[in-house]
Amino acid sequence: MSGAATPTVHEIELATYRVTVAAGALDRVAERARAATGAYRFAILTDSTVAALYAQRVMAGFAADEARLLAFPPGEREKSRERWSALTDEMLALGFGRDAAVIALGGGVVGDLAGFVAATYMRGLPFVQVPTTLLAMIDSSIGGKTGVDTPAGKNLVGAFHQPAAVMADPLALGTLPPPQLRAGLAEAIKHGVIADRRYLQRTVEALPTLVSAGGAGTLAMEELIARSIAIKADVASRDERESGVRKILNFGHTIGHAIELLSGYSLLHGEAVAIGMVLEARLAERLGIAESGTAAAVAEAVSQAGLPASRPAAIAPELILEATRSDKKARRGAVEYALPRRIGEMAGEERGWCVPVDDAAVLETLAS
Active site residues: 123, 145, 187, 232, 242, 246, 250, 253, 257, 269
Phi and psi of 284, rounded to 5°? -60, -40
CB within 8 A of 38, min separation 6: which ones? 126
Rounded to 10 deg, the angle between the 108-120 and 81-93 helix axes is 60
Q: How far apart are CA 177 and CA 134, in angstroms?
A: 11
What value, to the nearest 5°, has the Cα angle with vertex 358 and ends 279 and 283?
20
CB within 8 A of 291, min separation 6: which ones? 285, 341, 342
Closest C-alpha among 95, 24, 26 to residue 65: 95
CA 352 centroid distance within chain: 22
CB 159 within 8 A of CB 120: yes
* Helix or strand run (H / E) with residue 49: helix 48-50
CB within 8 A of 194, min separation 6: which ones? 231, 235, 248, 249, 251, 338, 340, 344, 346
97 three-class SS: coil
Q: How far apart are CA 97 and CA 219, in angstroms?
A: 41
Taking the CA of residue 169 as centre, how many other CA atoms within 13 Å lie in the half-sphere pointing to its CB?
A: 19
Q: How far apart are CA 68 and CA 218, in angstroms?
A: 33
User: Counting beta carbons within 10 angstroms of the beta carbon of residue 6, is it exposed (0 to 12), middle (13 to 18) or buried (19 or more)?
Assistant: exposed
Q: How far apart are CA 133 and CA 26, in angstroms?
A: 13
